[in-house]
Structure 1
Amino acid sequence: MEEPEMQLKVKKVTDKFTESMYVLANEPSVALYRLQEHVRRSLPELAQHKSDMQSWEEQSQGAIYTVEYACSAIKNMTDSSVYFKSIDSLLKHAIAMKDQLNAAQGRSTVAPQAKNPPASS
């Protein structure tokens, strides 16, 4: 009687050992299958995110370039205030000279008329 009982115990142990070996042998492939499944599901979304990020980066670079160009233009405008002040001064001087010329011409045209009396008939 001990012999069949021993055979039953040995059979249970070998069955458990076989099952454990089967699980251990298949565990890496199950894990790799799960990884592959995860990658297949998430890869299109990740690719779309990458594409969106590249597009946003291009737009950002364009905006940065525009802002830098505007800042440069503003700086150049503030640097040119010296030239505008000089132009303003020269224009005021030219206007004053023109007024002097007009005044001088006004006097010279008035004076000759006074010198020449009207001819008597």
Structure 2
Amino acid sequence: MAQTNELNFKGTKTSEKISENIHIFANDPSLAFFRIQEHIRKVLPPILEKRTEVLSLQSSLQGHCYDMEYGVQALKSIEKSDSYFHNIQEMIKTSIFLKQQLKYEENKKRTKRDSIYPTLVL
């Protein structure tokens, strides 16, 4: 009888272990999917937030690149206008010289008028 009880106990234990293993194998994929779903729910909001931030930064960076390209084009056009600036500089020098001549002539006429001895006109 002891052997029968022992055999029954071992048979029951073995069938419980087999049943437990079958239950684990049957539910293991759903547990894996649950863990994946749990991970996605946990990680997805920060990823979406970072994606939105990256898209915003990309848009801002693209705007800055356009501004920089515009600035480079402006500098290149200024370099091309070197001859125009040289002509303007020459015109300013000529204007200053002519202004000085006019001032000199004006001062010369004034000194003649302010003279004690007026010149006789014949």
TM score, norm. by length of structure 2: 0.70
Q: Partners in 2 of 1:37 and 1:99 — Cα distance?
A: 88
**Alignment size in residue pairs:** 110
Matches within 5 A, 1:67-106: 67-90=68-91, 92=93
1:59 corresponds in structure 2 to 60
The one-letter code matched in structure 2 to 1:46 is: I
Q: Partners in 2 of 1:5 and 1:98 — Cα distance?
A: 129
Structure 1 unaligned residues grouped into runs of 5+: 107-113
Q: Partners in 2 of 1:94 and 1:48 — Cα distance?
A: 64
Shift of 1:25: 1.1
Matches within 5 A, 1:3-82: 3-82=4-83
Structure 2 unaligned residues grouped into runs of 5+: 107-118
TM score, norm. by length of structure 1: 0.71
CA offsets per residue over residues 6-35 of structure 1, 9 Å max, x none? 221111111111111111111111111121
The one-letter code matched in structure 1 to 2:75 is: I
Q: Partners in 2 of 1:56 and 1:32 — Cα distance?
A: 35
The one-letter code matched in structure 1 to 2:22 is: M
Q: 4+ residue stretches of structure 1 with deviation over 6 A?
A: 94-100
Shift of 1:92: 4.3
